[in-house]
Amino acid sequence: MGVNRRSFLKGAGAAIGAASVARAEDENAPDKADVLDVDEPVEVRIDLNNAPCTLRVLPDTPIAHAVRELGLTGTKLSCEGGACGACTLHADGAPRSGCLTLAVELEGARLTTIEGVGSPDALHPIQRAILETDALQCGFCTPGFVMAAVAFFDRWKAQGLAGRPPRDDVAQALAGNLCRCGCQPALLEAVAAACAGERARAPGGAVVHEERALPRVDGPEKVCGRARYTVDVQMPRMLHGAFVRSKVPHGVIQRIDTARAKRVPGVVDVDLWPIARDKGWGKLRFVGQPIAVVLAENEAAARAGARAVDIDVAQLPFVVEHRDALAANAPLVWAPEERGDVPAAGESPKEPEFLRRWEGNVRRGLVFEKEPGEHERAVHDDGVRVELHVHTEVQMHATLERHGCVASWDGAELTLHTGTQTLDMVASDLAEHLELPRAKVRVLSEHTGGAFGSKAGLRPEHVVAARASMRWRRPVRIIHSFADHLLVGGNRPGTNQRLRVGASLDGRVRAVEHHSQSMCGIAVGERSTGLTTDHLPRQTRAIVDENVVTHTAPACAFRAPGFPPNCFSLEQAVDEVAARVKRHPLVVRLAGDDDDVRRKVYRVAIEKMGPVRERAGTGHRFMRGTGIATAEWWVLAAPSCTVELRAHRTGHVEVSTAIHDLGQGARTVLLNLVHDELGLPKGQIHTRVGDSRLVPGTGAFGSLTTPSVAPPTLAACAQLRALLVKGARRMHGDCRETPTGVLVGRKLVPWRELFVALDADPVVVLGRRGDDPDGYKLPPTRLGALAAVTPVAISQDIVASVQVADVEVDRHLGRVRVRKIDVFLDAGRIASPVTARTQVVGGVIQGMSRALYEARQVGARSGVPLSRSFDAYAILGVADAPEVEVHFVEASRTHNPAGALGLGENSTIATCAAIANGVYRATGRRVMQTPVTPAHLLEVLA
């Protein structure tokens, strides 16, 4: 221990110089305690990754912060509460939570971080196995998982054990780590295989285009902790920002006094932009609403400054719960004259004000009656009538990487690092705010630690950081605290739904009446009846879709907005019809449906799935059943998407476009397509995405990346091939083009050997996507909230899916255990089979997490959200993960030339309904809410 430690003689209070800490206990010694002042750095000597190291830290600094300060940013900070495991490192061989372990307590310890485990050239067996199974997506949790797994691996080896460790042992070892993308099944496989010294198996299921299976392009840097996320960006002279947020659900600011905050040592400025930009200045509508940002020399000072901003608020009555919002005399979240300012919750177009109908806190959206009045008769007709009332809780995106950004200004141009799924929109909107030309703003999003819809569009921190960096000529970093991240980092609305279905005696659904209310916080725009409309196109329908506003944080798009809650009600109702008429649930669905895509997928599922298990184990503790649910999603595309190829005479090609790899594998898709089209070794293809300076790409939402980017990639490759043919003719004279190269006489010269003949170095070609040849359901439009910059079209394709859940219900412990989920889904031509399958598994895991665990809690009396940590907001853990088998079905007509469809949303929609139907088939009882907690399940079973 170091030089700044002071020793005191108790009572005397006089420093008498440093002394080493006595470990021996001596009762007779005077009480000479060693006192460390929290503001004075101390030195801690450790062995760090096999090298001696002296840390200089404050006494209350956690070790994870200390090693990150040294530039070892592979140790991630996410929840900072010991629940997520992202900061796992080893102290004397044991895995520890880096966020809860004070650095001073590690004096003399042997410390290993992810940087000390392996490198892309010398991977640890665990890292290699994680790549082989593709057990990663966004990669933010990956270093923590590697560290937990390596500790287990070392113990396994030290005990001399051979073969595959039992699943339960691996699950125990990984239980302290959370993955939001849903890689748990593959992680379990990876660790078991690595321990056994086997080659790990890629995610199960029928393998399409096996020869193209390869680990993801950015996998090696992610498993080694080298992938750089926004939170890892460190710059010299950086200022740090911390938000001041509303602590009340409803009120009006009377006074803001920043004097005390500005006196906090290290505080540079307080920016009131977040509240000042609002119309109706000073109105607070939810806990967490941004008010101001304190800028300081370091993060601790910024947070201290934020606490010192004095704000007087006149509190107003509020509503945070659905039923309170509907009460006759409920306080209004938006007064009639304010309703033009209501933020948009989803991806749906924000319709003109005159189309909106408000009644109190209810905003009525789509009202659709196919044949007015007809449904009443139809749902009451003879035959089968089903009525369900369901409730789904608010789900939070809870990405492991928190929202935030780092802005820097070089006097002429602004650079913004931020995890985003809409580079172009952030760059354009920010340029407008700063009154800069669009070309002077560059947005970088190399890696993003989970997004799922929450990291779309311009956010207050972007503007504040950019403004401050221009004003102070210093880089500005604003990363939310985890509690703030959960407050404003996005949520999926909860719903209350009433669904009535009338069916004929053969199970054919004839009429449906659906009334759904989505709780969007202060926002509007969620639509939770879309699946009902799409699934039952010919039936007599009466649909009322409403949003209920409350004094809680605005909802935003979340993977397949509106569809999973809709699926939970609709697919349980259809399942109920099938059960009543005693027919196979998918046969019932086929009977009323003439869509080719859905029919093909359902047929394949019927063929491949096992028998429907019902009421197995009745009367015993464990009951088992098979639940089935179906889903579909639109195929969206951005026709303006382009892809650039930069080809060198050495045969190296750089493929680039302003798209986003959020973990879904966009880089790998690009690389595989170029590899296939040009026959180049993968090592010679370099991909660049996540930079707004690149040629225009598309935002990453609505499963549109692959359908948007695959056609222009093929187009660019075709252009390049034409140039290669030209070069070949210059070099070889007459020759003939084939798919794999040119024929010179009878000799095939592959494309890769023709790059030397390019007439420039590099040659640059630009592939354009253009429109689908047969047109669209909805032509390219800028109407949607997220499509404000890039026009998005709705293609004539749809994608359909079936999920089959093997569910076990524990009657004693009120627990649902999902043993296996089979996914049958249509995804067109798969560009990257391994990452595609991984993404589907992730959708299923997220769906299951929502079905069984996730619920945001808000204190009804305080209006304060309680879910401010992973302790207070449970998501699925490794041990809960089922086996997931993915069956790709090529069913769609595919109206784009690349045959590419998206699968991100489609894979997550049906899971909750499949599980609910599984509970029904196991127990004969229906669960009517998500999450299916022990409390709800026991109530249903009682």
Partner 1 sequence: MKHLVTHKSILEATRAYAQAADDGAELLAGGTDVVDRMRQGISSPEPLIRILRHLPDTIEAEDGFIRIGAGARLCDVATHQTVRAVPALEEALLHTATPQIRAGATIGGAIRQRVRCHYFRHPDLQCLRRGGNSCLARGGHHESHAVFDTEAGCVAVHPSTLLTAMLALGGSLTCLVDKETKTFLVDDLVGVDLRDPHSDLALPAHAVITRIEVRNTPSRQGYLRASPRELADWAAVEVAASLREDAGRVVGARIALGAVARAPRRATAAEAALIGKPLTASSIVEAAARAADGAQPLPGTRYKVQLVEGAVRALLERIA
- Please give the residues from 658 up to 697 whose contact with partner 1 meets the rule CB under 8 A: none
Strand pairing of 815-826 and 883-889?
parallel
- Please give the residues from 433 up to 492 whose contact with partner 1 meets the rule CB under 8 A: 483
Distance CA 906, CA 456 (A): 19
Among 868, 887, 895, 921, binds partner 1 (CB under 8 A): 868
Which stretch of DSSP H or E encloses residue 574?
helix 563-581
In the bound complex, what is the minimum distance in angstroms from residue 811's beta carbon to partner 1?
7
- Give how far Cα 246 sits from Cα of 54, 286, 342, 343, 534, Å: 41, 7, 18, 17, 40
Specify burial of residue 416 (Cβ count, 10 A radius: 0-12, 13-18, 19+): buried
CA angle, residues 536, 588, 806, in degrees to nearest 5: 105
Distance CA 282, CA 260 (A): 20
99 is an interface residue for partner 1 by CB under 8 A: yes
Q: 250 is written with which tokens?
A: 């409803």
Stretch that binds partner 1, among 90-98, 572-580, 606-614, 795-803 (CB under 8 A): 90-98
Residue 466 or 852 with smaller CB distance to partner 1: 852
Specify burial of residue 82 (Cβ count, 10 A radius: 0-12, 13-18, 19+): middle
Residue 60 or 774 with smaller CB distance to partner 1: 60
Among 73, 75, 78, 101, binds partner 1 (CB under 8 A): 101
328 is an interface residue for partner 1 by CB under 8 A: no
413 is an interface residue for partner 1 by CB under 8 A: no
133 is an interface residue for partner 1 by CB under 8 A: no
Nearest to 216 by CA among 140, 122, 119, 137: 137
- Please give the residues from 300 up to 319 whose contact with partner 1 meets the rule CB under 8 A: none
Residue 23 or 582 with smaller CB distance to partner 1: 23
What is the pattern of x (binds partner 1, CB under 8 A) and - over residues 798-817?
-------------xxxxx-x
In the bound complex, what is the minimum distance in angstroms from residue 814's beta carbon to partner 1?
6
Residue 679 or 924 with smaller CB distance to partner 1: 924
Distance CA 504, CA 645 (A): 57
355 is an interface residue for partner 1 by CB under 8 A: no
- Please give the residues from 58 up to 87 whose contact with partner 1 meets the rule CB under 8 A: 59-60, 62, 80-83, 85
Residue 34 or 676 with smaller CB distance to partner 1: 34
What is the pattern of x (binds partner 1, CB under 8 A) and - over residues 9-48?
------------xxx-xxx-x-xxxxxxxx----------
Sole residue written with tokens 């640890």: 124
Residue 88 or 421 with smaller CB distance to partner 1: 88
In the bound complex, what is the minimum distance in angstroms from residue 405's beta carbon to partner 1?
23
In the bound complex, what is the minimum distance in angstroms from residue 65's beta carbon to partner 1?
10
Among 9, 12, 15, 94, binds partner 1 (CB under 8 A): 94
The single-letter DSSP state of residue 784 is B
- Please give the residues from 923 up to 942 whose contact with partner 1 meets the rule CB under 8 A: 931, 933-935, 938-939, 942
- Give how far Cα 541 sits from Cα of 435, 463, 565, 637, Å: 49, 45, 18, 29
Stretch that binds partner 1, among 380-388, 546-554, 642-650, 852-860 (CB under 8 A): 852-860
- Please give the residues from 887 up to 926 whose contact with partner 1 meets the rule CB under 8 A: none
Q: 790 is written with which tokens?
A: 């890039």
Distance CA 312, CA 44 (A): 43
Among 448, 867, 894, 896, binds partner 1 (CB under 8 A): 867
Residue 827 or 851 with smaller CB distance to partner 1: 851
Residue 562 or 918 with smaller CB distance to partner 1: 918
Stretch that binds partner 1, among 93-101, 191-199, 490-498, 820-828 (CB under 8 A): 93-101
148 is an interface residue for partner 1 by CB under 8 A: yes
Residue 181 or 852 with smaller CB distance to partner 1: 852
160 is an interface residue for partner 1 by CB under 8 A: no
Q: 355 is written with which tokens?
A: 């189309």
Strand pairing of 685-688 and 251-257?
unpaired
- Please give the residues from 582 up to 621 whose contact with partner 1 meets the rule CB under 8 A: 621
In the bound complex, what is the minimum distance in angstroms from residue 858's beta carbon to partner 1?
8
Strand pairing of 251-257 and 310-315?
antiparallel
In the bound complex, what is the minimum distance in angstroms from residue 805's beta carbon to partner 1?
17
859 is an interface residue for partner 1 by CB under 8 A: yes
Residue 118, classed as helix, strand or coil, is coil
Nearest to 909 by CA among 810, 823, 780: 823
Q: Are 447 and 430 in contact, with CB atoms under 8 Å apart? A: no
Q: Are 915 and 851 in contact, with CB atoms under 8 Å apart? A: yes
Residue 252, classed as helix, strand or coil, is strand
Residue 83 or 716 with smaller CB distance to partner 1: 83
Residue 244 or 509 with smaller CB distance to partner 1: 244
Residue 57 or 549 with smaller CB distance to partner 1: 57
Nearest to 64 by CA among 89, 98, 30: 98
In the bound complex, what is the minimum distance in angstroms from residue 176's beta carbon to partner 1?
3
879 is an interface residue for partner 1 by CB under 8 A: yes
151 is an interface residue for partner 1 by CB under 8 A: yes
384 is an interface residue for partner 1 by CB under 8 A: no
In the bound complex, what is the minimum distance in angstroms from residue 765's beta carbon to partner 1?
50
Residue 283 or 856 with smaller CB distance to partner 1: 856
User: What are the residues whose beta carbons fall under 8 Å from the beta carbon of 301, sequence distance 6 or more?
Assistant: 240, 264, 265, 266, 267
In the bound complex, what is the minimum distance in angstroms from residue 701's beta carbon to partner 1?
30
Residue 279 or 812 with smaller CB distance to partner 1: 812
Nearest to 458 by CA among 694, 248, 237, 692: 692
- The dihedrals phi and psi of 415, each to the nearest 5 degrees, come to -115, 130
In the bound complex, what is the minimum distance in angstroms from residue 880's beta carbon to partner 1?
5
Among 308, 464, 704, 878, binds partner 1 (CB under 8 A): 878
Peptide bond into 931 cis (omega under 30): yes
Q: 340 is written with which tokens?
A: 């033009």
Which alpha helices (H) appear in 876-925, and where do they start and end?
Answer: 906-909, 911-923
CA angle, residues 219, 221, 225, in degrees to nearest 5: 115
Among 876, 901, 919, 922, binds partner 1 (CB under 8 A): 876
Q: 750 is written with which tokens?
A: 């592959």
For the beta sheet containing 747-750, the strands, ordered from the edge strand earlier in sequence to the opposite edge, are 736-738, 741-744, 747-750
Distance CA 776, CA 773 (A): 9
Exposed e or buried b for every residue in 35-56, given b needs 16+ CB within 10 A? ebeeeebbebebebbeeeeebe
Q: 623 is written with which tokens?
A: 């009951």
Q: How many residues lie near partner 1 (CB under 8 A)? A: 79
What is the pattern of x (binds partner 1, CB under 8 A) and - over residues 220-249?
---------------------------x--
Residue 40 or 210 with smaller CB distance to partner 1: 40
In the bound complex, what is the minimum distance in angstroms from residue 265's beta carbon to partner 1?
15
- The dihedrals phi and psi of 187, each to the nearest 5 degrees, come to -65, -40
727 is an interface residue for partner 1 by CB under 8 A: no
Q: How many residues does the chain have?
A: 942
Among 46, 104, 294, 302, binds partner 1 (CB under 8 A): 104
173 is an interface residue for partner 1 by CB under 8 A: yes
